[in-house]
Structure formats: structure tokens, C-alpha cells
Structure 1
Amino acid sequence: MEVAMTMCCNGKGCDGGGAAVTNEDEGQPHDTKISDSEADPRRMFTLKTLINVYKEAILDGDVKTISEVESMISIVENEKNELAQKLSTFSAEINSGKEKYIRLQADFDNFRKRSEKERLTIRSDAKGEVIESLLPMVDSFERAKQQVMPETEKEKMIDTSYQGIYKQFVEILRSLRVAAVPTVGKPFDPSVHEAIGREESQEYREGIVIQEFRRGFIIGDRLIRPAMVKVSTGPGKRKPTVATEKSTTAAGLDDR
């Protein structure tokens, strides 16, 4: 269907069934006939030209042209709404994508931190197990140091030799951050001490470790083996002077 818009443009002559309208954007006259194909909002009419035609139709009282222009405006408005809806949808999808990316990045960071923590834990556990398996050697060296009393020159040479080996062994343990648990003279701590006896003491108040039976060791902040100790119950009735048993120092492991 083809609809003709007949206008008298500000006193200009009309040519029967058609009229000439000046396109203000292009400065050239053109035939203002609107067909179904031209009614498509994507046609080359500029919005300003469409408004001018609409104004002229109102001034001329051209109901048909007014209706046609309003229909075109309605189509443009509908397309504008559709585009706005699409833009809103795209914006929502972009925001959703950003949120997913942020969540994935946070999940990856958490995974990386967990992996690093697990790696350090596994390494620490492995180190602890190896060191724990070597502690009986420390106990043997300590017993030998307390019990062996070299007398001859040959015995003294042997004692010096194994003591040198023990010193090297201790230095390796210290390089791995292994240290002996403080005992005698320290308050009893159930997290690092294992009490196997309690006894009155004139020298130490109640709750203080007075004797060590087996050394305990820690690596960093981790306990490898608790120390077996005897704990003071405080001073009882004073008795004749008796020497209080104390443990010997493990070649440098007490120095933390």
C-alpha cells in the first residue's frame, strides 16, 4: 500500500496529488511519498526530517500523514525499547561474566594457597618422621656420654672420636631447626612434657620439672617427641641434704 502525503509548504505551490518539501538537512527538495518500504524505521529519513514532516502535517491538518508519521515513530520507539532491552541483557551478561571471573580468580588463589600449605605440611611431616627415626641414636649417644668413663689413652681416643661424630650429628639437627625441650627448672607444660612421676623438692616449688628421664625434641613450633620428666610437688618436711638428680645437656641442642 502506498500512502501519499499532500502538503502546502508555507505557501509554496502544490502539484495536485503531491507536494514538494524541503529537506533541511540536505537543502534539496524531494517527493514526500511514504510507502510500506519507506515506513521502515531503518530508511534514510533523519529524525529531524521526520519531525519537520510531522509539524507540517499538523499545520495542514493532514490526518493521514499524521497517522503515518506517528506509526513510524511508534515503530522507532518499539525498536528503541527492544535495543534497550538487548543492551540491558548484554550488560547483565557482562556483569555476570565479570562476577564469574572474579569468583574463579578467588577460587584459584584459594587453591594455590591450599596447595602451598599442603606442600609445606607434607614436607614438614616427612622431615619430622625422618628426625623422629633418628632420635634413638641421640638417646644412645647420651647414655654413652653418661655411662662411659674412659681411663686409658686408647679409650679416651675412642671417646673423643664418637663425641666428635655426635657433635656433627647435633649440628645437622640444629641446622634443621631441631631443639631439645627445656626441662629441669622449667614449669611443667603438658604440651611438651610427659610426667612419669611427682616428688617433693626443697629446691623447686610445686609444678616445676626437677628431673628428666628422656629428652624431648621440637622442630620449629612442632613437637616431635615429648620429654619424660619428674615434677615437684613442692617442699615437704625438710630432710637431710640429698643431691637432686638433674639431666645432662645434649651437646648443644638446649641452645635454641
Structure 2
Amino acid sequence: MLIVCLIVCDSNNFINEFYEEDVRTSGGSLKAMIRVYKEALLNGDYRIVSEIENRISILENEKNGLEKQVLELSAEITSGKDKYIRLQADFDNFRKRSEKERLTTRSNAQGEVMESLLPMVDSFERARQQIKPETKKEKKVDMSYQGIYKQFVEIMRSLQVAVVPTVGTPFDPSLHEAIAREESQEYKEGIIIQEFRRGFLLGDRLLRPAMVKVSSGPGSKKATSSGDYQ
């Protein structure tokens, strides 16, 4: 009887200590609990067996609850990560669209400004071809005039404005406007042989097509005909 009492008392003390340890560490020693459980079964102490079984059941419920919380938190983290990825993708798309719209707006504004200045370019070109300064004063004025034109050309070049290639290049309806055809011994059919008005490009955008004369190929004699190029 004394031995049984000592075992029962020791088991009760261990249960209490185990509960206290479990509160501190959220667990306790599972091996020790099993040992006490076996001893209680051997000694027929069903009160301790019942307490340990109840405690195991509580721990099992707590474990299941924690697993459920972990699964819920994992789902929230995954959902939050997916939302972040979608938001990041939406932001990147918005940034790309905004940048594209900004560049398009800038290009359109530059194009409109340059198109309005092209008649001035034509005037400079005609003046350079027609005016032949003779006196010292006229040459001085012409030099100043050409200096202004040179500055204007440099500004156009800095804005990526380029001249449409003409003489010696194949006729391209997307770049050229043919106003005449002429037989030519020098140029093959479809090659531009003369430029009447310069055309200009702003990057890849056509500001104005070049007016040109196109070769109709070699013939017995040269003849010029006006009209659109076919």
C-alpha cells in the first residue's frame, strides 16, 4: 500500500508540475506524460489516466486550432502576395502607358511646331538659290541671313528632324510625292532624278513628303510630263 501511495502521490505531483511547465512552455514533456500515464494504468489510478487523457485531448484540440490558424495565415500571406504581384504589375503597366503617352504627346507637339516652321525653311532655301549678292553690303547681309538659317538647321537636327532622301533613291509613296516623270539615260525606272521641295522626318514620323520627279527609264528622247506618279 505504501508503494502504491508513493507512486500515486508522485504521479499527482508530476501532473501538477507538468501543467505548470505546460503553461510556461506551451507544451511540457510528452515522454514524461506517457511514462506517468503507463504507471497510472499499471497501478489502476484511473483518475490520473482520465486527467492525462483529458489533457492530451486539450493539447490535440490546441494543436488542431494552431494548425488551422497556420493554414489561415498561410492563405492570407499567399493572397496578400498575389495582390502585391498584381498591384506591382498594374503599376508597371500604368507607368509604361504614362511614359508612352508622354512621349507621344511630346512627339506630336514637336511635330506640330516643326510643321508650322517648314514654310520658313522653304523661304530660306529659295533665298539661297535665287539671291546672288554682289556688293560688299549685300554679301554681309547674305552672310547674316545664312548664319540664321544655319542655326535653324542645327536646332532642327537636335530635335531629330531629318531630310527625306531623294535624288538617286527609289521612289517611295510613303515618303515622296511625285509631280512629274521623265525618261532618263542615267537613272533606271522608279528612281528619283530631281527634287522640287524637300521632305522632312521627325524620327520615324513623316512631317512632309518630298516633291520629286521620277525616272520612267531610258527612252529615245527626254520628255517631261506633269501629274501624279502612277
The answer, yes or no, to whether TM exceeds 0.5 is: yes
Query: Taking structure 1 as reference, are residues 127 and 60 closer, same or farther at Cα in structure 2, changes over 3 Å only?
Result: same
Q: 1:19·1:31 contact (CA, 8 Å) conserved in 2?
A: no
Match of 1:238 in 2: 220
C-alpha separation in 2, matches of 1:79 and 1:31 = 21
Query: Taking structure 1 as reference, are residues 78 and 207 closer, same or farther at Cα in structure 2, changes over 3 Å only?
Result: same
Give the alignment's Cα RMSD to 1 decimal: 3.1
Residue type of the partner of 1:189? D
Is 1:184 the counterpart of 2:167? The answer is yes
C-alpha separation in 1, matches of 2:40 and 2:217 = 114
C-alpha separation in 1, matches of 2:27 and 2:35 = 11
C-alpha separation in 1, matches of 2:14 and 2:184 = 121
C-alpha separation in 2, matches of 1:32 and 1:114 = 69
Match of 1:26 in 2: none
So what's the TM-score if we normalise by structure 2?
Answer: 0.78
Q: 2:178·2:214 contact (CA, 8 Å) conserved in 1?
A: yes
Is 1:108 the counterpart of 2:108? The answer is no
Match of 1:225 in 2: 208
Q: Encode CA deviations 1:73-131: one digit per residue, 9 max, x unaligned.
A: 12211210111010111111112212222222232233223322322222222122111
Corresponding residue pairs, total: 218
Residue type of the partner of 2:206? L
Q: 2:177·2:209 contact (CA, 8 Å) conserved in 1?
A: yes
Q: Which of 14, 25, 33 pairs up with 2:5?
A: 14
Match of 2:79 in 1: 96
Query: Taking structure 1 as reference, are residues 217 and 32 closer, same or farther at Cα in structure 2, changes over 3 Å only?
Result: closer
Is 1:75 the counterpart of 2:61? The answer is no
Residue type of the partner of 1:89? E
How far 1:13 moved relative to its partner?
4.4
Q: 2:181·2:216 contact (CA, 8 Å) conserved in 1?
A: yes
C-alpha separation in 1, matches of 2:136 and 2:9 = 133
So what's the TM-score if we normalise by structure 1?
Answer: 0.71
Match of 2:197 in 1: 214
Q: 2:195·2:211 contact (CA, 8 Å) conserved in 1?
A: yes
Q: Encode CA deviations 1:7-57: one digit per residue, 9 max, x unaligned.
A: x7xx72428xx93115xxxxxx82868xxxx7xx85998334432221112
How far 1:188 moved relative to its partner?
1.4
**Which runs of 5 or more structure 2 residues have no equivalent in the other structure?**
225-230
C-alpha separation in 2, matches of 1:95 and 1:45 = 29
Instruction: Point out the structure with max Rg over C-alpha.
Output: 1
Q: How does 1:1-256 map to 2 (within 5 A)?
A: 12-14=3-5, 19-21=8-10, 30=13, 46=28, 47-63=30-46, 65-151=48-134, 154-235=137-218, 237-239=219-221
**Which runs of 5 or more structure 1 residues have no equivalent in the other structure?**
1-7, 23-28, 244-256
How far 1:156 moved relative to its partner?
4.3
C-alpha separation in 2, matches of 1:212 and 1:76 = 94
